[in-house]
Amino acid sequence: MTKQPSSRTCFLCGRDNEVGLKMVWYNNPKKKQVEGTVTIPEHFNGYPGFVHGGIISAILDETAGRTVMLDGDWQKLFVTLKLNVTFRQPTPTNTPLTAVGWLAKEGKRSREVAAELRLTDGTVCAECEAVIVQPPKEFERLWEPERPYWKVDPE
């Protein structure tokens, strides 16, 4: 599996974000999936012992969107046009979780992507379907100062 890049400040992957989750994703070309693991601390709870739904949604959104990099092109940017999250069961805090994303349909200007957040036994806690698109050119211009920090860190 090939490790995907991280940024400095992103809430999910930012290596310099002190309050972030510091998630790492890998391309699994054999399965045509993006995979990442995370343990969500209690301070991101909704109710004691359970992860807030907004945190779960953010993880699913990022995981599904990262499928644009399954081909190894780290410079592809995306933004989410539509996100539909289904919560299957409460997701526990302080528990190892796996996020898995895949491409459902590739269009000319958009992609339909999906992701699941699973317990280590494979139980699906939450899932999403999303539509992602290339961002406007203005977004890409604003991204340029951060681009040197968008990289794959050594293990």
75 with 142: CB under 8 angstroms?
no
pLDDT along the chain (155 residues), means of 10: 94 94 96 97 96 98 96 89 98 98 93 98 98 90 89 86
pLDDT attached to residue 57:
98
Question: How far apart, in whole angstroms, are the C-alpha atoms of residue 73 and residue 70?
Answer: 7
In the chain, what are the domains? 31-146 (3.10.129.10)
Of 37, 138, 24, nearest to 79 by C-alpha is 138
pLDDT attached to residue 155:
74
pLDDT attached to residue 80:
96
Question: DSSP 3-state assignment of 125?
Answer: strand
